Amino acid sequence: MTTAQEKATPCCGDNNNSTSSATALRPRKDWPITSPDPTDDTTRNRASVSTLIRSVDSFSDPPPKTASTKGITVMVRAQTSHPLDPLSAAEISVAVATVRAAGATPELRDSMRFIEVVLLEPEKHVVALADAYFFPPFQPSLLPRTKGGPVIPTKLPPRKARLVVYNKKSNETSIWIVELSEVHAATRGGHHRGKVISSKVVPNVQPPMDAVEYAECEAVVKDFPPFREAMKRRGIEDMDLVMVDPWCAGYHSEGDAPSRRLAKPLIFCRTESDCPMENGYARPVEGIHVLVDMQNMVVLEFEDRKLVPLPPADPLRNYTPGETRGGVDRSDVKPLQILQPEGPSFRVNGHFVAWQKWNFRIGFTPREGLVIHSVAYIDGSGGRRPVAHRLSFVEMVVPYGDPNDPHYRKNAFDAGEDGLGKNAHSLKKGCDCLGYIKYFDAHFTNFTGGVETIENCVCLHEEDHGILWKHQDWRTGLAEVRRSRRLSVSFICTVANYEYGFFWHFYQDGKIEAEVKLTGILSLGALQPGETRKYGTTIAPGLYAPVHQHFFVARMDMAVDCKPGEAFNQVVELNVKVEEPGKNNVHNNAFYAEEKLLKSELEAMRDCDPLSARHWIVRNTRTVNRTGQLTGYKLVPGSNCLPLAGAEAKFLRRAAFLKHNLWVTPYARDEMHPGGEFPNQNPRVGEGLATWVKQNRSLEEADIVLWYVFGVTRIPRLEDWPVMPVDRIGFMLMPHGFFNCSPAVDVPPSSSDMDDKENGITAKPIQNGLIAKL
């Protein structure tokens, strides 16, 4: 992913996207690099960082030339990419060429299909080293203070790519690790200079499907003579009107085993309408069963089981302007302008973002989409205070509640089977985003190994968010108010009929909000004349929308007040309890918050409980605030649900992580996907998160990873036809004793809020932008 600085949208004065580390690193008096004392408890957990500092020269051979200032070795050659930057187009090309060149025969090379090429994220101590000395804003305080003389490394380790490759001839999936040593050579003459570090075949799996496969599958089904005859029985002879959506087969029986690469398409059909954006999902084709071999692109099974008439053309079916609700568009909405004449308050340098007291890095993967790295808050004299290493949405599951064919098998794993990032699309100012926008592009490999770019894929902008805080003194009539502003980072993807917008919002009072917006078009079923369906809502003649659920998994690698190498976090659960009647509760009004330390993984399998206001706090076990309490961040659930399915439901074989709203694990680098890396046609029960926690590892003082599962149950409304207004669900990460006083009080009101006599509003000016400490 690259920044899109040259877009027509005004950009944010980021000093050009090239990193300013091009100048030689200069030693500063506050660089605290010395030799560690192995007997010192405070440095024992940081040994990996110190080891890296001393041995980093060995990462490249020969090392670059260096200069010396007062005996301190300094870097003189810039590092071109931060260790967490998404792979560039050139790096993807080099990685693909390196793997393809490693094929033993031309036949093997020709059969390679590239499912995913992504950055192999380095260990946390490498990131700390890069942030300390190689990339602005240069934060040497990230590394431990040691007792020896200062030694500053000369070079970071080479970046690496991780490739998931499908062999179309052998039906095998393999994982490759490639070192990207000389990527710049690709732009000069097309010569790859990568190095294969490892490769292995992963047995008994199927990787995610690709858009190229979907298009080929649609063409194969449309050309299949029995299918054409079945459509003719329904009055359809023009195959250009037919839509074939190739859904993954899931795993319902041994026939779905990953020894074959399968799809079970759903069929829809547009009308003769000349509307260029006609809602084809308005006419589902029921009664046809198709099974496609996606490896060889042939129809394995076909059956026209039941003739259900196509729903009639509904005049309200379309969604372009002038086509919905009888063709009447609203004309009484006046223009609303969002202006920032002095530009935005955020600053961008490459993928590094700084706004107010927040800073973090933006990443992107084909599977997860947006990733937020290295989240920290600059807290005055407290300096840079880490909050989280990595935030992302790692999986989503959409099970349908209709037991009838074909809806019972609709349980899509949209991240693991398709890829949220690969299904992202370009955002458009004035439609998807308003205001002063900073866009980032995203690069992906296509099925054959070429590089594709999604321009304007990630949106970064500020939003007014109403009142942050206000108080009026009734004695004096004077009021103090702070207006809220938040920084929003987002992307939107389309998976078949549904759209999902994923947002991370950063607030001035230290909150982080995760939000998912659901919209798009319903996935529908057809009805016989006069038929109704218990498991859905009839929304038009011959048409119904099945009940279903959407579940999302947020993976939060936390680091509350922890520097890299430190594992000083724990998780406590808070529940509100009503005091038992007695001498401590003579008025029967008493209640209190009770804390419980979640000591191990099995103990930390928890569910939401709104009746007890249940929430969870990630605490630092070594840092206290001014009242002597441990500093922390709490996870506050929003609206939520659990799967409405029996314990033996087939989709729960692959999605055992849906059985609880919260899971907690100690950090492990290879534990990334809660349902396993390859959920497509996965025959293994409970793979992933549900298996990892059986180790029952200690959480009393650890490098904590939170897995929060949240969802929404959709009982479609008549008003959801033909389009669905946005549903919003999410959660909050809120400081809990993290600050000594509220950072919100340090936010001055805007001048427009200060005095608006025309509307009868007056407010007392703030003195020095502060009020008394809370």
Q: Report the run of H or E that residue 553 belongs to, with start and end.
A: strand 548-558
Report residue 331 as tokens.
Answer: 């004309």
Report residue 311 as tokens.
Answer: 């729903």
CB proximity list for 58: less than 8 A, separation 6 or greater: none
Is 377 considered catalytic here?
A: no
Is 414 considered catalytic here?
A: yes
> Buried b vs exposed e over 510-546: b needs ≥16 C-beta within 10 Å?
bbbbbbbbbbbbbbbbbbeeeeebebbbebbebbbbb
What gap in Å lies between CA 593 and CA 597, rounded to an integer? 13
Quick one: which of 762, 524, 564, 519 has its CA closest to 46?
A: 564
Residue 537: phi and psi, rounded to 5, are: -115, 125
- The interaxial angle of helices 211-222 and 225-233, nearest 10 deg, is 70
What are the residues facing 155 on neighbouring strands? none
Report residue 234 as tokens.
Answer: 């329904």
The catalytic residue among 414, 509, 561, 720 is 414
Give the C-alpha distances (Å, rounded to integers) separating 124 from 48, 389, 713.
10, 8, 38
Quick one: which of 111, 91, 93 has its CA closest to 168?
A: 111
What gap in Å lies between CA 351 and CA 136, rounded to an integer? 11
- Cis link prior to 137 (omega < 30° from 0)? yes
Report residue 492 as tokens.
Answer: 């939107």
Q: Look at residue 408 and give its three-state secondary structure.
A: helix
> Buried b vs exposed e over 225-241: b needs ≥16 C-beta within 10 Å?
eebeebbeebebeebeb
Length of the chain: 774
What type of residue sits at position 705?
V
What type of residue sits at position 380?
G
The catalytic residue among 498, 500, 507, 633 is 498
The CA-based dihedral angle spanning residues 667, 673, 677, 683, taken in that order and rounded to the nearest 10 degrees: 110
CB proximity list for 30: less than 8 A, separation 6 or greater: 140, 141
Burial classification of residue 507, based on how many CB atoms lie within 10 Å of its CB (0-12 exposed, 13-18 middle, 19 or more buried): buried
Q: Look at residue 766 and give its three-state secondary structure.
A: coil
Do the Cβ atoms of 44 and 124 come closer than 8 Å? no
Report residue 738 as tokens.
Answer: 């993290």
Q: Number of helices (H) and strands (E) in the chain: give both, helices first.
A: 11, 35
Quick one: which of 250, 311, 362 has its CA closest to 655?
A: 250
What gap in Å lies between CA 39 and CA 506, rounded to an integer? 40
Do the Cβ atoms of 520 and 499 come closer than 8 Å? yes
Give the C-alpha distances (Å, rounded to integers) separating 149 from 38, 146, 434, 611.
15, 8, 52, 57
Q: Which residues participate in catalysis according to the annotation?
A: 414, 498
